[in-house]
Amino acid sequence: MPRKPRKVIKSRKKPHAASTFAKAAVDKKALRGKSSSALKLRKDKSEERVMVVSRSDMFSLGIWHGLKTDDVNKYINIISRKHKFISRSLAEDDPHWQQIIPYLIFENSGKYFVMQRRGDHSDKRLANKFSIGVGGHINERDIKGIRGYKGGKVDNLVMQWAEREFREEVDYSGKFKANFLGLINDDSNDVGLVHIGLVIHISGDSNNISIKDEHKSGALEILVKVGSHYKHMETWSQIVYDFLKERRSKTYSSSKRSASRRSSPQGRIINMTKPNDIIGILPDWVIAEYVAKNKIHISPLDNKWRENIDQVSIDFHLGNKLKLFRAGTYRFVDTKRGLPDDAMEEVNLQDGDPFILEPGAFAIATTREVLKLPNDILGRLEGKSSLARLGILVHSTAARFDPGWSGAPVLELGNLGPKPAILYCGMPICAFTFEKLSSPVRMRYEGSRSDRYSGSRIPLASRIEKHNPSISHSTLREESLGSDSKSSGRGRKKNS
């Protein structure tokens, strides 16, 4: 059962001191006379009936975290077929329901419409937060006039919902085009736990736009300036900003490659270096060629695997098997004798399943990908900077994969942060770099003294006792602290 969201109490903060928003601030004295009408508005909003889909229906095809841009029509179909209307006050406090929110991103000539909620906003959980999305609930009144609402094409329904929401939330003079980007889900906080966003990009030909809500201010800003508000953004806006930034980076790289082709005499990039001539860390184009030709064997690979390649690395994803230490079973770990077989328990996940890594917890996992290296290339497992900044370690010390290595790379996950972290099966978890040796190694890795984990497809516990072969395995078990010991709970599968 999903956990019921806790009521979050936040201290009142002054609005963010950004000059573009200070100009749009409303004098507090002018708002005092509106307090009674504001209270009535809040009451009316809590009593309105809004569109929801049960969590079990919404995620019947699998759960995800962040912005989902592929296979979205099947989820829109679920919303069209399974939605109902319940009171907003009930939906806000019950994570069994997902409230459907059109979330509109307005852009004009490379600038995005950024809003800031004021401290007196009706939803205190979002007070003073920045947002690049215009959003609101869908109620019965909103959809009565939609053409083809009963049995209509889902993409048409989304666009019509978006148009109504846009005209309801902002004052805008100009023409615009709408493009459906995908669905957004974020279970990391109480607000995201009970909402699903329909993310739509609005491209306008005019910069004459303002927000109607008296509890918000807004301004058009370039993407770099938008990023300066990142720490003070709502989490949905952070997720969308990361998507926009990544998309712009890929567009820039693509245009740069096209320009290089045009500038060369034959209309292509002139590169006199052949992949086999390169010694040292492999660049992106060599990684792509080696993977394509199976010199570096990675499986499984989806159709878009090349998008996982950066300048000198390729992303790997979190696999579906993890191991955790059982609590209370052993008083200590003897590094000469190693771990008994029952010291750790295994957790199995499905793709998209969330997993909570508690503060101070440690887990062993594998990547979804299986890696096989030739005898002249070594690999290095690198953590993701965005995870490290949350206090999440992907590997402790075992980052090198010797030439000839074969198997599913093992991750040594740890949470050094103060808060539980939700990881998702299938999420990008680490990156691999590869280094070409000047000559192949003579000693085969398989069967060598270093080979204790090669060939495995599941997370294996430490085999440190192989350094001490003289110690009998019959002495490995230490004193138990109780026959009714349970899992520590420092890491656990999250119920959805």
3-state secondary structure of 42: helix
Spatial separation of the C-alpha atoms in residues 270 and 260, rounded to whole Å:
9
User: Side-chain half-sphere of 162: how many Cα atoms within 13 Å?
Assistant: 25
Tokens of residue 413, six digits: 């996950």
Contact between 207 and 165 (Cβ < 8 Å) = no
Q: Are 419 and 359 in contact (CB under 8 A)?
A: yes
Backbone angles phi, psi at 201, to 5 degrees: -90, 120
Cα–Cα dist 82/413, whole Å: 38
Query: Measuring CA to CA, which residue among 445, 307, 317 is closest to residue 378?
Result: 445
Helix (H, G, I), strand (E, B) or coil at 382: strand
> Distance between CA atoms of 53 and 85, rounded to whole angstroms?
9
Q: Which token pair is 244? A: 């926009």
Q: Are 66 and 188 in contact (CB under 8 A)?
A: no
**In the chain, how many H helices and how many E strands?**
12, 27
What are φ and ψ of residue 214, in 5° steps? -70, -10
DSSP letter string over 316-329? Answer: EEEEEEEEEEBSSS
Q: Is 263 exposed, middle or buried (0-12, 13-18, 19+ CB in 10 A)?
A: exposed
- Look up tokens 């497992």; give the residue: 381
End-to-end CA distance of the chain: 6
Please give the backbone phi and psi of residue 399, each rounded to the nearest 5 degrees, phi first.
-100, -10
- Return the closest-CA partner of residue 346 out of 447, 492, 141: 492
- Please say if 412 is a catalytic residue: yes
Q: Which of 169, 412, 446, 478 is catalytic?
A: 412
The Cα 173–Cα 251 span in angstroms is 29
Q: Beta strand 195-204 with 97-108: parallel, antiparallel or unpaired?
A: parallel
Tell me, what DSSP letter sits at residue 108? E
How is residue 84 written in tokens?
Answer: 């109902």
| Cα–Cα distance measured from residue 3 to residue 52, given in angstroms and rounded to the nearest whole number | 18
Q: Is 114 exposed, middle or buried (0-12, 13-18, 19+ CB in 10 A)?
A: buried
User: CB atoms < 10 A from the CB of 301, how many?
Assistant: 14
Identity (one letter) of the amino acid at 448?
Answer: S
- Encoded tokens for 248: 């712009």
Catalytic sites, residue numbers: 412
